[in-house]
Amino acid sequence: MRHPEPTPAGRWKVRFRYGTSAKTGKPKQASETFDSKREAEQFAKWLEALGSQGALDQLYAAEQDKSIPSLDAVAADHIRLLTGITDGTRLTYERLWERVWSPRLGSLPAFAITRDAVAVAVNDLGRSYSHKSLENQRGLLSAVVQRAVEHGYLTKNHAKGIRLPRGQEADRVEMRIITPDEYPSVIARVPDRYRPLVNFLAGTGCRWGEAVALQVQDVNLPNVRIRRALNWSPDNKRKVGATKTSRSNRTVQLPAEIVDEIAALIEGRAGTDLVFTAPRGGAVLHRTFWSRVWLPAVEHLAPRPRIHDLRHSHASTLLARGVPIHIVQLRLGHESIKTTVDTYGHLLPDAQALAANAAGLAFRPSKELGN
């Protein structure tokens, strides 16, 4: 990208090539001068994304119509006026926009968002983010651009449906299944106080935040009712609130093997007491548990599983034992069966073998099939 140059007069100049010389037929050197470095850097970004003519169009269009807001301003209004979300989610959107789209498209006038500009930004993001992250980022951009369309700044939403690059798939964290043969070696390394918590996570597939927010009144053995979760908000505050989705509110039956130890934990305690607590009371902190309990318990395994992999391992065990996938969905609290299939479908026992055998029928004469 072109870099702005300071001038003796305290302004900033950006050099570029524009047009061709009548004498030599070669591109001519041109420049634009700006009062601030920020304006010069923005023009340099336009040159990179849109070429010389496109950058000049953006520059002079912006000067001619100051009443048109920037895409940053449209985004700020969109996020501010969203309904049905928590303050934490609103802050997440604000930070996502500031980190991802504002540096690439935010300063453009709302009417100047083109398909090419969006494509350049998306391709740039593909070098740094996974495909799943790109989908989330595109969703926010598309909603903001749609607001620009609704207010008459654009005639078409150029972000909607734009194809995404594969992204940095190598950076994706794969699930690490803890097999039934490995689990005894893990639980044996967990201190007695925390064994019921680890067994609960492994035996129910609950999320960490659901487990540590569980109250005595939620337990009616052998069942537990999941209806709240401990979450970290984007402003770095920890609070108990709603579960991840409406389907996450569910009842889960405990395996018989852990009923007695959960019963011992809740005996004689008040209904609003937490089932699992730290040594001095209060909720079990993820960071402390991870460093002092979990890492020593799994350091002998390679690759090393995460705490969340207990949830994946639970689902894997159920599917391996022939539990229907829609039951696994209900147990895990997935909002959609698609989430369960996309995440765990490859773990269905003998699924590929069954498919291959069925496909093989195409190579057999009908008389061999008894027809």
Q: What is the pLDDT of residues 120-147, one digit of tens each?
A: 999 999 888 888 888 889 999 999 999 9
Phi, then psi, of 278 in degrees rounded to 5:
-75, 165
R_g of the chain computed on alpha carbons: 28
End-to-end Cα distance, the chain: 69
Amino acid at 349: P
pLDDT at 170: 47
Is residue 6 a contact partner of residue 25, using CB atoms and an 8 Å limit? no
Q: What is the pLDDT of residues 258-275, one digit of tens each?
A: 999 999 999 999 999 999
| Residue 24 in tokens | 């030599």
Separation of alpha carbons 104 and 106, rounded Å: 6
Q: What is the pLDDT of residues 145-181, one digit of tens each?
A: 999 999 988 889 999 988 888 765 544 557 898 998 9
Q: In what order do the strands lie in the sheet with 5-6?
A: 5-6, 12-20, 27-34
pLDDT at 284: 93
Nearest one of 12, 3, 116, 103 to 57, comparing CA atoms: 116
Separation of alpha carbons 100 and 110, rounded Å: 17
Burial class (CB in 10 A: 0-12, 13-18, 19+), 165: middle
| Residue 310 in tokens | 């207990």
Q: What is the pLDDT of residues 41-100, one digit of tens each?
A: 999 998 888 888 788 877 776 555 567 899 999 999 999 999 988 777 888 899 999 999
Is residue 144 a contact partner of residue 75, using CB atoms and an 8 Å limit? yes
pLDDT at 352: 60
Does 9 or 24 have the greater pLDDT score?
9
Is residue 166 a contact partner of residue 131, using CB atoms and an 8 Å limit? yes
Q: In this model, does residue 341 exceed pLDDT 80?
A: no
Q: What is the pLDDT of residues 293-338, one digit of tens each?
A: 999 999 999 999 999 999 999 988 888 888 888 999 999 998 887 7
pLDDT at 111: 87
Of the listed ranges 43-47, 187-191, 364-368, the one predicted with least confidence = 364-368
Overall residue count recorded for the chain in this entry: 371
- For residues 181-205, average pLDDT: 96
Burial class (CB in 10 A: 0-12, 13-18, 19+), 147: buried
Separation of alpha carbons 340 and 334, rounded Å: 7
